[in-house]
Amino acid sequence: MQASRIAAAAAVAGSTVLLLSSPAFAHVSVQPDGTAAKGGYALVNFRVPNERDDASTTKLEVSFPTDHPLASVMPEKIAGWKATVTKTKLAKPLEVHGRKIDEAVSKVTWTADGKGIEPGYIQRFPVSMGALPEDTDELVFKAIQTYSGGEVVRWIEVQEDGAEEPENPAPVLALSAATADHHGGAATAEDTSDESSDSADDAKAASASTEAAADSSGGSDTTARVLGVVGIVVGAAGVAYGVLAGRRRTTSDA
């Protein structure tokens, strides 16, 4: 009876660690494909997990920073999704490659024309963007995720220095130091538009297809957490066995 109680307590402790660690990799996030260097262009992926068991994600709205406007934003074509780019007039025009730009992208909206992101899956939304600002170390992209049941999750909370991570943090893109060619290791918007061949479209559709939640980008983190939970459970079981064994020896000696 005592052994059963200890084993149950160990299992509960392990489950608690797993549940507490799960939200860490369940947020909408943004990561560059390679690097995102200041002053250059980059291909980034907005990574969106479905956190619900009874609904699909059918819409994603990503707002682009107005304090550091981006003149060129080009979403890649994704099978099963329609992308809409919204532009806004700039109070102060930008100069990009010697050209005056008087408007910038303020939002990109992806709407599913199929099943969307089903429970247990994630989706990557690739975007080519630039030129990246040189006077900041990061860009904040506030995102709104809509589910098929009508639920709306707003990933718009900005992380404050020294504070705990908010419940619904906004995706943040870290910028690296500027490179000599100002391309940041990724194709420029002009290069991207010139590479719109059928083979490129096929590659884009394949790379942006819906993936399992344990994909390569999150697999290592998930594996580490699972191994940690298993270690806790096994350790607790060992302690329980040691306690029982000690009691049995005490009883037999008596």
pLDDT beyond 50 at 220: no
Closest CA to 6 of 216, 245, 239, 210: 239
Pairwise CA distance, residues 108 & 217, whole Å: 23
Which long-range contacts link 80-88 to residues 24+ away (Cβ below 8 Å)? 80/112, 80/113, 80/114, 80/115, 80/116, 80/210, 81/110, 81/111, 81/112, 81/113, 81/114, 81/125, 82/110, 82/111, 82/112, 82/113, 83/108, 83/109, 83/110, 84/108, 84/109, 84/110, 84/111
Tens of pLDDT, residues 169-204: 999 999 999 876 654 444 444 444 444 444 444 444
Most confident of 2-11, 15-24, 66-75, 207-216: 66-75
Closest CA to 126 of 40, 57, 34: 34
Question: Taking the CA of residue 240 as centre, how many other CA atoms within 13 Å lie in the half-sphere pointing to its CB?
Answer: 17
pLDDT of residue 15: 34
Provide the pLDDT confidence category of residue 78 given band limits of 50, 70 and 90: very high
Question: Taking the CA of residue 147 as centre, how many other CA atoms within 13 Å lie in the half-sphere pointing to its CB?
Answer: 16
Name the DSSP letter for residue 119.
Answer: T
Mean pLDDT of the chain: 75
Q: 151: left (phi > 0), else alpha (psi -120 to 50), else beta? A: beta
pLDDT of residue 195: 44
